[in-house]
């Protein structure tokens, strides 16, 4: 800047460096991504075969399954007697191609690993039955059917 001419953006030490600009762009992109979570709970959630139970109830809050776009973990809320539970199913990219859909007030039967998160009951689904349909999400050990090159839709 000693040449006597005014400083211009993009010149000298204040110019954005390609690496810095790329890193900043990546950070901003990652911050804009929706979290693979519901509430403060990050997924994948643990699956404990020792806590597997079957729960019957009614869908209170139907899941929204978006095809394409960013991966999202699909979950819904159900009422089973006096108890309200969050049921975690699996990723949208696994459920959408199978035509999976639930509506509020659908009667469901869910088998899965029961746990408590932040004092609230959660069921990590292994299998769900509804409207004379059935969808298996995990094997008996709790391994996701979407989790690896050998696995795929049931």
- How many domains does the structure of the chain reveal? 1
Q: What is the mean pLDDT of each run of 10 residues along the chain (154 residues)?
A: 54 52 46 40 74 98 85 94 96 91 97 95 97 95 78 44
Q: What is the 3-state secondary structure (H, E, C) of 10-43?
A: CCHHHCCCHHHHHHHHHHHHHHHCCCCEECCEEC
**Is 67 within the bounds of a domain?**
yes
In a domain, 151, yes or no: no
Look at residue 27 in the predicted model and tell me its pLDDT.
Answer: 42
pLDDT score, position 60: 97
Domain limits at 65?
Answer: 37-136
**What CATH number corresponds to the domain at position 57?**
2.40.50.140
Q: Is residue 69 part of a domain?
A: yes
Q: What is the model's pLDDT at position 38?
A: 44
Q: Is residue 41 part of a domain?
A: yes
pLDDT of residue 86: 97
| Tokens linked to 17 | 């460096």
């Amino acid at each position: 800047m000693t040449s006597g001419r005014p400083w211009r953006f993009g010149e000298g030490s204040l110019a954005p460096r390609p690496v810095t600009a790329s890193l900043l762009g990546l950070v901003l992109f990652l911050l804009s991504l929706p979290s693979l979570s519901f509430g403060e709970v990050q997924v994948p959630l643990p699956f404990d075969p020792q806590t597997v139970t079957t729960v019957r109830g009614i869908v209170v809050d139907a899941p929204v399954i978006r095809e394409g776009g960013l991966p999202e973990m699909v979950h819904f809320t159900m009422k089973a007697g006096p108890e309200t539970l969050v049921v975690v199913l699996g990723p949208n990219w696994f459920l959408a191609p199978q035509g999976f859909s639930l509506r509020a007030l659908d009667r469901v039967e869910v088998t899965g690993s029961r746990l408590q998160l932040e004092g609230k009951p959660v069921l990590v689904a292994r299998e769900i039955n509804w409207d004379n349909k059935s969808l298996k999400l995990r094997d008996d050990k709790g391994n996701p059917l979407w989790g690896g090159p050998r696995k795929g839709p049931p």
